[in-house]
Structure 1
Amino acid sequence: MGNRSIKWGIVGLGNIASQFASDLLLIENAELTAVASRDLTKAEEFGGKFNALRMYNSYDLLFEDSEVEIIYIATPHNSHAELSIKALENGKHVLCEKPMSLSYKDAERMIAASKKHNVFFMEAFWTRFIPSVQDLLQKIGNGIIGDVNYIKADFAFHGSETENKRLFNKELGGGALFDIGVYPLFLSYIVLGKPKEILAKAIKHKNDIDLQTSMILQYETAQSILHASIVSESDMKAIISGTKGRIELNAPWYVADGYSLFINEEKEVTFTLPTLGKGYSHEIIECQNCILNNEIESKLWSHQNCLDLSKIVEEIKIQVQLSF
């Protein structure tokens, strides 16, 4: 077994897929076997740029390609569930871009398909695998900042309706919560687990997507104050605060190249932990290791983790009355 090459397929060839494919090139035992877009010209352009062996103008053709082992799904949110399940039914491993689905029910169906067909499935929460996050979780686990009782995290930028149509498109699952709100929620979840209670408020667009959403997650002895916006900017730092000190993740925190540790208000030390490439490389390596070990889920971002986060997002979706 050892270090054999894993053969990848990519479905949906937008901006995120390009960044992902650049990182794929950095990994020795990863091979881009096939790409698919509904537009053949786009598939040929993308495939040429990233040395893919085959380019398809149909997702189904890629799912049927017997050489492809794992498929990275990077289409708009509204098609994640359907395409993931179809790929899993074809016996393919799947790495599905976040959010894995627009409803908890679909998330359950996706996990069930992975188990039923005994193939690997993971939501592409790349932040879970970057060195800075792995390192700080270990330190928090070792009690370096004491008991965590406060997290502050946001993800905000000023989006343009003309330039980023998908983001403002209700049919495609646009809006702040599903596109970027999942990141601060993810951070709270990996540090503190499932909240006891959630309070959320949103400001809506005339087409009913959320332009910005603010969230308070209430735990037994902790609170997280979280925010997502596609109409204004923030400093994009994240703070995790405990009884003995705090950690400040460098901006933009979701792909932080390091963090600062403060103990008793003294800046102890700055840790520098750069990512390989853009940072997608770390989740790619995780997927490959799982496949080589015949595991259908990652221990670091498990099926249950995917479902827990989906459930949290669903609760907020209901509170702020989003429907897709």
Structure 2
Amino acid sequence: MNNKKTVITYGTYDMLHEGHMNLLKRAKALGDYLIVGVTDENYDRSRGKLNVVESTKKRVKAVEALDFVDKVIVEKHKKQKAQDMVKYDVDIFAIGDDWVGAFDYLNEFTHVEYLPRTEGISSTKLRRENFDLIKMGIVGLGRDTQSFIDEAQFVSNIKINRIYAEDFLALKKFTKDSSIIKYGHDNYDDFLDTSIQAVYIDTALKKHYTFIKKAIEAGKHILCENPIALDKKELKELLSLAKKNKVLLLSALKTAFLPAFNQLLKEIEKGDIGDIREVRATRTSLYREKDYPDSFMEQGATNILSGYPSLLIHKVLGKKKSITFFDQTEKNYDISNLIVTTHKNSAVGLARVATGIKSEGDAVISGTKGYVYIPAPWWLTKEFYFRFEDTHKSYKFSYEFEGCGLRYMIAEFASLIQRGKRTSKMLSPSDMVSISRIILDYNEFKENSKKTKKKEK
């Protein structure tokens, strides 16, 4: 770079403010050429920054607009800093003094300089000032209710202090034992007639439609466990009603919001494994061993679990051309199902779900040049491997996430509400329809089978 002294710094730069610009100017003053690394949204989420409002693209553009910044790059993983020091022949790495000591290891590659920050201003403070608190209520005492409440505490601008449940005694005990939930309701209309702006629904699947419809009509935003409906007409009605009433309706498929899962989709788009011909994903759980009631099991393996493999298959292969079910039933409900879907270019999706059979919960995406392996439990994606015939070309991606993964979904839900958005790029309405098609078609398939058996009798 013509013997110019190169300085590099990194940050999120959400809602670019005076503090950011002061620090960047101090960094530029250390040399002649300033490179700024803007963190990728998946990387931010993987390191616990859940409340970033602006997209990577918007943040990059904001920094690029500063006339004293010479180059902007995107930071995608924690090892990148050391790589960038060598790649750009960096003379000075500059960072805020709230990180003192954290980056001393980079002295091996360059000189590390910790710079003073501007007091009294931060993106966190701006977010609090610019975005109202979202009051949220819980509907039901389901398998994820407590985890949801716990995980929501890590998302700013979300407050949960109400819950609705039909079982008054269970409701009373839950609110008594909870340090967070202060108000319990056993009347849904009364629950909706409060100051809450959003609800999380975790009830029996067959009750989703009724609870969602009433919440939409009450003007509440909804995050609901998958599936949001068990009938095609009901699903179409709910999505249409949500759009009409300008409320957010989002399926609670937490995998869709995990940093590593979204990075996986980005990496696949690069085409390193060639044309994708097959996606295989397994999701099984022996709920009986976890003391789940029979009423839960009777919902069927397909209704309970197929959303996860369907998500991966849909995101990678797109729309389905055909669906074939190979189910095993017990007491009139499926305990296992191998679901085979066909897609464009003769690609095939293989989704195996089971509540009465245990299998390895991994996933494989097979292409003409290589494949991607996601180890169990793949739906809690933390790492994935790109593998090739020439093993020297193989590589691995690893992203840690905090808690049980729910906080990333909650953060996206809150962010959409705050930004006035009614659809998520991570899980759009068309995604939800395609993913739900497996469940809807299977339920239709079961009904038709029952009718056929009756006629035969």
Give the TM-score of the pair, scaled to structure 1.
Answer: 0.91
CA 1:160 to 1:86, structure 2 compared with 1: closer, same or farther past 3 Å?
Answer: same
Aligned position for 1:186? 311
Equivalent in the alignment of 1:273 = 399
What is the correspondence of 1:109-188 to structure 2 with a 5 Å cutoff?
109-160=237-288, 163-169=292-298, 174-188=299-313
Instruction: Give, in whole Å, the separation in 1 of the partners of 2:398 and 2:376.
Output: 13
**Size of the alignment, in residue pairs?**
317
1:67-106 residue CA offsets vs partner (Å, 9 max, x unmatched): 2111000011000011001001001000111011111111
Q: Which has the higher helix share?
A: 2
Q: Which structure has the bigger radius of gyration?
A: 2
1:69 aligned partner, one-letter code: Q
Rounded to whole Å, the distance in 1 between the matches of 2:444 and 2:209 is: 19
* SS at structure 1 position matched to 2:288: coil
Residue 227 (structure 1) aligns with: 352
What's the offset of the Cα at 1:251? 1.1
Q: Which has the higher contact order (CA 8 A, sep 6+)?
A: 1
Q: CA deviation at 1:320?
A: 4.7
1:247 aligns with 2:372: yes
**CA deviation profile, 1:277-302 (whole Å, cap 9, x unmatched):** 11111111111111111122212211
Residues 104 and 307 in structure 1, CA contact (< 8 A), matched pair in contact too: no
Superimposed CA distance per residue, residues 45-74 of structure 1 (whole angstroms, 9 cap, x where no aligned partner):
434425124222222222111x21110000
Stretches of structure 1 that go unaligned for 5 or more consecutive residues are none
CA contact (8 A) 2:340 2:348 kept: yes
Distance (whole Å) between structure 2 residues aligned to residue 245 and residue 25 of structure 1:
41
| 2:423 equivalent in structure 1 | 297
Which residue in 2 is equivalent to 1:54? 183
How far 1:204 sits from its partner (Å)? 1.4
* Aligned with 1:63 (options 168, 192, 196): 192
> Percent sequence identity over matched residues?
26
The 8 Å contact of residues 202 and 320 in structure 1, kept in 2 or not, is answered as: no
Alpha-carbon distance between aligned partners in 1 of 2:314 and 2:307, rounded to the nearest angstrom: 10
Q: Provide the aligned C-alpha RMSD in A.
A: 2.0
Map 1:305-324; keep pairs closer than 5 Å.
305-321=431-447
Q: Which amino acid aligns with 1:58?
A: N
- Residue range with higher mean Cα deviation, 158-167 or 56-65: 158-167
Q: Distance in 1 between matches of 2:166 and 2:351?
A: 37
Q: Deviation at 1:265?
A: 5.3
Secondary structure at the residue paired with 2:421? coil
In structure 2, the gaps of 5 or more residues are 1-128, 451-457
1:22 to 128, 134, 150: 150
Cα shift readout 1:176-232 (whole Å, capped 9, x = no counterpart)? 1000122212211111111111111211122x2111111111123311122111111
Question: 1:160 aligns to what SS in structure 2?
Answer: helix
Structure-1 separation of matches of 2:183 and 2:160 = 9
Q: Which residue in the other structure is 2:217 paired with?
A: 89
User: What is the one-letter code of the residue matched to 2:236?
Assistant: E
